Structure 1
Amino acid sequence: MSEAEADFAVLGRGVAALTCATMLHDAGYSVEITVPDGASAPISHLAGGMLAPYCEGETAPAPIVTNGQRALSWWSKHVPGVQHNGTLVVAPPRDQGELERFSQRTSHHRWVEPGEIEPDLADQFSRGLFFPDEGHLDPRKALASLENRLRTENVAFSKLPHACQIIDCRALQSADHLSGLRGVRGEMLIVRNSLLTLSRPIRLLHPRFPCYIVPRDDGVYMIGATMVETGFAGRPTAQSVMALLSAAYSVHPSFAEAEILEMGAGVRPAFEDNIPRVIYEHGRWHVNGMYRHGFLMAPYCAETLIHLLQEVRR
Structure 2
Amino acid sequence: MGALTIGIAGAGVLGRLLAWRLSRAGHAVTVFDPAPGPHAPAPGSLHTPVVPHAAGFTAAGMLSPLAELDNAGPEVARLGWRSLTLWREVAAALEPESAGHPLFAQQGSLMVAHGSDTGAAQRVLARLHAASTPADNWPVPRALNRDELTTLEPALAPGLRAWLLPQEAQLLPREMLVALATRSDNVWWCWGESAVRVEPGVIHLAGEPAQHFDLAIDTRGVGARGALGGEAAAVRGVRGEVIWLHAPELQLQRPVRLLHPRHRVYIVPRPGDMVMIGATEIESEDRSPVSLRSAVELMSAAHSVLPPLAEARIVHMESNLRPALPDNAPHTHAEPGLLRINGLFRHGWLLAPALVQDALQSLNLEATHV
Query: Under a length normalisation based on structure 2, what TM-score does the superposition of the two structures give?
Result: 0.77
The CA distance in 1 between the partners of 2:162 and 2:58, in whole Å, is: 27
Matches within 5 A, 1:1-314: 7-36=5-34, 38=36, 40-79=52-91, 80=97, 81=102, 82-107=104-129, 108-113=140-145, 114-121=149-156, 123-150=157-184, 153-159=185-191, 160=193, 162-164=211-213, 165-177=215-227, 178-280=232-334, 284-310=338-364
After TM superposition, the structure 1 stretch with the greater mean CA deviation from structure 2, 28-37 or 191-200, is: 28-37
Q: What's the CA shift string for 1:226-255, capped at 9, x where partnerless?
A: 101122222111100000110111011221
**Alpha-carbon deviation of 1:154?**
3.2
Instruction: Look up the equivalent residue of 2:190 and give its one-letter code.
Output: S
**Alpha-carbon deviation of 1:6?**
6.0
**Alpha-carbon deviation of 1:215?**
0.7
After TM superposition, the structure 1 stretch with the greater mean CA deviation from structure 2, 5-14 or 53-62, is: 5-14
Q: Check the 8 A contact 1:78/1:146 in 2, yes or no.
A: no
Q: Check the 8 A contact 2:226/2:234 in 1, yes or no.
A: no
Instruction: Look up the equivalent residue of 2:347 and give its one-letter code.
Output: H
The CA distance in 2 between the partners of 1:233 and 1:296, in whole Å, is: 23
The CA distance in 2 between the partners of 1:125 and 1:87, in whole Å, is: 18
The CA distance in 1 between the partners of 2:335 and 2:299, in whole Å, is: 42
The CA distance in 1 between the partners of 2:127 and 2:74, in whole Å, is: 11
Q: Check the 8 A contact 1:124/1:252 in 2, yes or no.
A: no
The CA distance in 1 between the partners of 2:8 and 2:260, in whole Å, is: 40
The CA distance in 1 between the partners of 2:238 and 2:336, in whole Å, is: 24
Q: Check the 8 A contact 1:191/1:259 in 2, yes or no.
A: yes
The CA distance in 1 between the partners of 2:120 and 2:288, in whole Å, is: 32
The CA distance in 2 between the partners of 1:234 and 1:132, in whole Å, is: 37
Q: Check the 8 A contact 1:190/1:263 in 2, yes or no.
A: yes
Shift in alpha-carbon separation, 1:203–1:37, aligned structure 2, 3 A: closer
Query: Under a length normalisation based on structure 1, what TM-score does the superposition of the two structures give?
Result: 0.90
Q: Check the 8 A contact 2:255/2:266 in 1, yes or no.
A: yes
Shift in alpha-carbon separation, 1:181–1:37, aligned structure 2, 3 A: closer
The CA distance in 1 between the partners of 2:122 and 2:347, in whole Å, is: 24
Q: Check the 8 A contact 1:98/1:206 in 2, yes or no.
A: yes
- 1:156 alignment partner, SS class: strand
After TM superposition, the structure 1 stretch with the greater mean CA deviation from structure 2, 100-109 or 59-68, is: 100-109
- 1:227 alignment partner, SS class: coil
More helix by share: 1
Instruction: Look up the equivalent residue of 1:49 and give its one-letter code.
Output: G
Instruction: Look up the equivalent residue of 1:157 and give its one-letter code.
Output: W
Q: Check the 8 A contact 2:113/2:160 in 1, yes or no.
A: no
Q: Structure 1: state its 5+ residue gaps.
A: none
After TM superposition, the structure 1 stretch with the greater mean CA deviation from structure 2, 236-245 or 57-66, is: 57-66
After TM superposition, the structure 1 stretch with the greater mean CA deviation from structure 2, 69-78 or 292-301, is: 69-78
- 1:204 alignment partner, SS class: strand
- 1:228 alignment partner, SS class: coil
Shift in alpha-carbon separation, 1:86–1:223, aligned structure 2, 3 A: same
**Alpha-carbon deviation of 1:133?**
1.5
**Alpha-carbon deviation of 1:216?**
0.5
What RMSD over aligned residues (CA atoms) do the two structures have, in Å? 2.1
After TM superposition, the structure 1 stretch with the greater mean CA deviation from structure 2, 106-115 or 83-92, is: 106-115
**Alpha-carbon deviation of 1:66?**
0.8
**Alpha-carbon deviation of 1:94?**
1.6
**Alpha-carbon deviation of 1:283?**
7.6
